[in-house]
Amino acid sequence: MDDIEMLHAVRPQPDAPSPAAYTAARAALLERAAGAPSLTARRRVPWRRARWVLIPAVAAAITAALVVVPGRFGDSRPPITSSRDVLLVAADTAERTPEGTGTYWHITITRKGAPTQEYWYRRDGHFWIKGKGLKGGGKLFEWPSESQPFAVGPLRMTFEELRSLPADEDALYTRLRAAVPASGVRPSGEPITAAEQDGAAMRALLSLISEAPVSPQVRAAAYRALASRPGVVDLGETDGGRHLQIPVASGKGTLVVDPDTGRIRETSVWAPLTGGVAHTQNGMVTIDAEWTDRLPPR
C-alpha cells in the first residue's frame, strides 16, 4: 500500500451523493455561471476575500467528476544532459523508425563545397558508385568485381550476417569485439591488444549507426553499445542535433546525432561499406541511407 492509499484508508469517506443531489448541484452551478447578475448584485459592496463552502454532497459530486492524470506538460522525454542520454534517446527513436524496403541500399555522402558521392549496394554485395572524383567520372559506374561482403569497420559480413546480428547491446558489442582478432587487423599475425580490439569494435559500431543496412533493432543496439563506451563526450547542442566527440584509432572524431530522427546528421569520421575509415580534415559530411528500387540512368 502506497502513501496515497494509506491516506484514503484513514480519511473518513463521505456518502456518495444521490442522483438528485448531483443534478441539483450541477444545475445550480450552471445557473450561477450563465445567469445575468441581479440588481442587488450590481451594487458596489466592500471587497472581501471570497470563502468557498461546499456541502459534503456537492463536494463529493465534484470530486467524483475530477480525474487527475500524472505526467508532464509538453515533451515527456527526460532531459538530455550527457552523451549517454543523447545516444539512448537516438536508440529509442531508431528502434521505432520503419526501415523501408527496396532492392538497393542507397547511400549519399554530401559535403559543403565538394561533389556528392552516391553508392548503391545490392544484398549480395554487388555495388554501383557515382560522383566526381570516383571511378566513372561522375557517371554511374558498376564495380566490376565479384560480389563481396560488406565492410563493417575492420570486419567483413554478408548481408545475412548483418541481419542476424544481436539486437541486445551487450551481446552485439561482444560479438563484434570477438570477431576482431580474425579480421586481419594485424596482418603479421601478432597478438592484438585489448585496446586495439576495443578500437576496432568502435569502428564497427560507427558503421552500424551510419552506413550498414541493418535492422532498426540492431541500429538501436549499436547506439546503446556506443553509449556505454568510455571516451564519448557531449559537446552540446548544435544545428540538427547534439555534437559528440568519440575516440577513434587516429585520435578523436566528432559527429552530430539527431535524437529526434535517430540518425547521424554530420560526422568527421565514418566507416564506409567499401572498407577502411574515412576522415575529413576540415568540415563535416552528411550521410543519408535508405532502401530504393531504382538505379539512376547511366
Show the 3-state SS of 102-141.
CCEEEEEEEECCEEEEEEEEECCCCEEEECCCCCCCCCCE
The 10s digit of each residue's pLDDT in 99-130 is 999 999 999 999 988 999 999 999 999 999 99
The 10s digit of each residue's pLDDT in 259-286 is 989 999 999 988 899 888 888 878 899 9
Lowest mean pLDDT among 55-59, 88-92, 190-194: 55-59
CB 105 within 8 A of CB 271: no
4/107 Cα distance (integer angstroms): 55
Is residue 163 scored above 80 in pLDDT?
Answer: yes
244/250 Cα distance (integer angstroms): 16
275/270 Cα distance (integer angstroms): 10
Is residue 294 scored above 70 in pLDDT?
Answer: yes
Confidence of residue 55 (pLDDT cuts 50, 70, 90): very low
Looking at residue 69, its pLDDT comes to 33
Cell of 202: 568502435
Closest by CA to 176, choosing from 198, 147, 148, is 198
Contacts with 229 (C-beta within 8 Å, 6 or more apart), sequence order = 198, 202, 205, 247
Answering whether pTM is above 0.75, one says: no
CB 118 within 8 A of CB 133: no
167/172 Cα distance (integer angstroms): 7
**245 to 48, 219, 270: CA distances (angstroms):** 62, 19, 13
135/129 Cα distance (integer angstroms): 8
CB 69 within 8 A of CB 249: no
Contacts with 155 (C-beta within 8 Å, 6 or more apart), sequence order = 176, 179, 180, 183, 200, 204
Cell of 89: 534517446
Q: What is the arithmetic mean of pLDDT over 151-166? A: 95
Confidence of residue 21 (pLDDT cuts 50, 70, 90): low
Is residue 205 scored above 60 in pLDDT?
Answer: yes
